[in-house]
A and B are shown apart, each in its own frame.
Chain A
Amino acid sequence: MATADEPEPILRGQDVVREYHTGGQTVRALDGVDFAIRPAEFVAVVGPSGSGKSTLLNLLGLLDVPTSGRVELGGEDVSTFDQGQRTRTRKRDVGFIFQSYYLIPTLTALENVEVPRLLDRTPVETRERATALLERVGLGDRLDHAPDELSGGQKQRVATARALINDPNLLLADEPTGNLDRDTGDSILDLFDDLRTEQDVAVVTVTHDEYVADAADRVVRLIDGEVRG
């Protein structure tokens, strides 16, 4: 519950249910989940495979809509948004860091970071911002490297820079340290901390890594589509 000194949540969910129909069966991936994500918060979602973590992340990122229940973004019910509005909102408010990064192999690190803003017709500003972000994540000397010339941690940092190019309020990270050694993982977590303190970016991460969960402000445990503990 929000108290007087807590800021309004960026994203709030009430009794959120998400069902899938596969092979004539209905699978309830999320079964009445409540959540609220506030600015600068670091939330770790943990749970076994198939517990609904990815489904929750998709709902938080407006990639999916709930079967029932309510997801609010800035007080607005996202189920009233059409596809175009959801797309625009994603672009404005959400940054994604995918588990396998999904960098475009033929583009340089810099070009990959620019991709979300490529169609904005602001090539000069976009390039300046992409350069600044890569410098920020410590890749100022790798701007023109292709993804296959980068290590796992460097790719992760390119993916993070790409997620930040539109200046999001909410950063969604799927297993951000999954493929990384501890030191590299630490540097990613430090980066998240900096973003939260400097820009009030909320970070939600899905992880199996207890080390990440320990670093989080709050841990949400999902089991069979329900929040436990």
Chain B
Amino acid sequence: MSLRHRLGGSVPVLVAALRNVSRAKLRSTLAAAAILIGVVSIAVVGAGGEAFKSGQLQRVESQGATNVYVFPGPDREREYFTREDLVEIQETVGTTGVVATTTRDGQWHRRSDRSEQVSLNYVESAAALRAITPVERGELPSTWRRQAVVSNRFASDHGLAPGDRLRISTGDESAQTYRVVAVLSEPTGGVGSAEVYLPARALDDRQYDRARVLTGSADEAELTAALLREEFNERRDRLLVFELTSLLRLFTQVVNGINSFLVGIGAISLVVAGVAIANTMLMAVIRRREEIGVLRAVGYSRGAVVRILLAEAGLIGAAGATAGVALALPAVMVANAAFLGDPLAFTPGAVGYLAAAFAFGVGISLLAGVYPAWRAANERPVDALRG
């Protein structure tokens, strides 16, 4: 007596179901393949979408989710902030740091006969600049007058290092010479970033086109933004207030919506697969009509017949879903590597999608087996055996 036979004896319904499923190998395989396709599409789209979302969220958060960005509102008389405005903002947000900046386009006179456009960002103080961007090389001056700080991209593109000189002009003004004292470590591209950072005192008008409120956390940023809106925008929109947390929420909503839509399409393919299983099972019970009649005659209860047939449908579904998850895993790992930088960085959401795809695949199969099983179990053995 083999061990396999003894083990099989403890799960006789599964043994019977497995025997039956393997009788119509091609039909069972095709039905399982339909489930596989549905499971793969749900798992890959769902878990891949989760990886994409987490990757983007991480990126956006690293760009300063703890900051609140404030711009002059459409209902203001002036399209810039004055020092008085900044004081008002500072009073509203309390002890939280406020950094006002102005971006301008300038001309960098590389040689006497050649100049090119650079983006300039005027910052109030070295301390304020330090607060928004870490320094990679060099040092920020304690009194910032005729020195320039450059972004690391700008520095590497043009071979600039602390100690070099830049001749820069804006508008109609004559060019001023600045000495490069530091290179910032942050890459350009974030909100309010620029290639060259100059002291605000170099501006003759001291008009700021934006301010950044530096808070300790994303939640605090959201609260601060709400406070500013309440204080300044009660009747008129004096400020445009942005904070990334609410943008992130919007982004998450959009991505979730798109993901749900795509997963929904995958789910439809699983429902179609369920129809294939129902068809397979119905064929099976029609072909095995007499055999099921014999089982009923020799003492199989209706419940036993239902259990065996549901187990068959479940086995087909489980086989398809297992293969589907196995195929989806490498695809999701590629997505993880692309969006999160680590193939094994499965987010809880992605694991959830994989599990849900498997469960849905098996569940649909079981559901598809219900009618054929019910029909087979309720046929009177006398009728089945009459031929």
Contact = CB atoms under 8 A, between A and B. Distances in A.
B291 A102 contact: yes
B301 A87 contact: yes
Of A119, A120, A126, most B-chain CB atoms within 10 Å = A119
Contacts of A102: 290-291, 293-294, 385
Contact of A121 (B1, B9, B23, B300): B9
Given A87-B300, A91-B298, A104-B291, A118 B23 contact: no
A63 B5 contact: no
A84 B8 CA distance: 25
Contacts of A95: 298
Contacts, number: 77
Interface string B2-46: 000110111011011001000100000000000000000000000
Sort chain B's interface into a size bin.
20 to 34
B12 A96 contact: no
A9 interface: no
A123 B9 contact: yes
Q: Is the interface of A mostly helix, strand, loop or mixed?
A: helix
A98 B294 contact: yes
B298 A123 contact: no
B297 to A, nearest CB: 5
Q: Give chain B's interface secondary structure class.
A: helix
Contacts of A90: 297-299
Contacts of B12: 118-121, 123
Contacts of A122: 9
Given A98-B385, A102-B290, A104-B291, A116 B298 contact: yes
A63 B6 contact: no
Nearest to B8: A123
Interface string A99-141: 0001010110000000110111111101100000000000000
27 contacts: A54-B386, A61-B297, A64-B380, A83-B302, A87-B302, A88-B301, A90-B297, A95-B298, A96-B294, A96-B297, A98-B385, A102-B293, A102-B294, A102-B385, A106-B19, A116-B298, A116-B300, A118-B15, A118-B16, A119-B300, A120-B12, A123-B1, A123-B6, A124-B1, A124-B9, A163-B298, A166-B299
Interface of B: 1, 5-6, 8-10, 12-13, 15-16, 19, 23, 290-291, 293-302, 304, 380-382, 385-386
Interface of A: 54, 58, 61, 63-64, 83-84, 87-88, 90-92, 95-96, 98, 102, 104, 106-107, 115-116, 118-124, 126-127, 162-163, 166
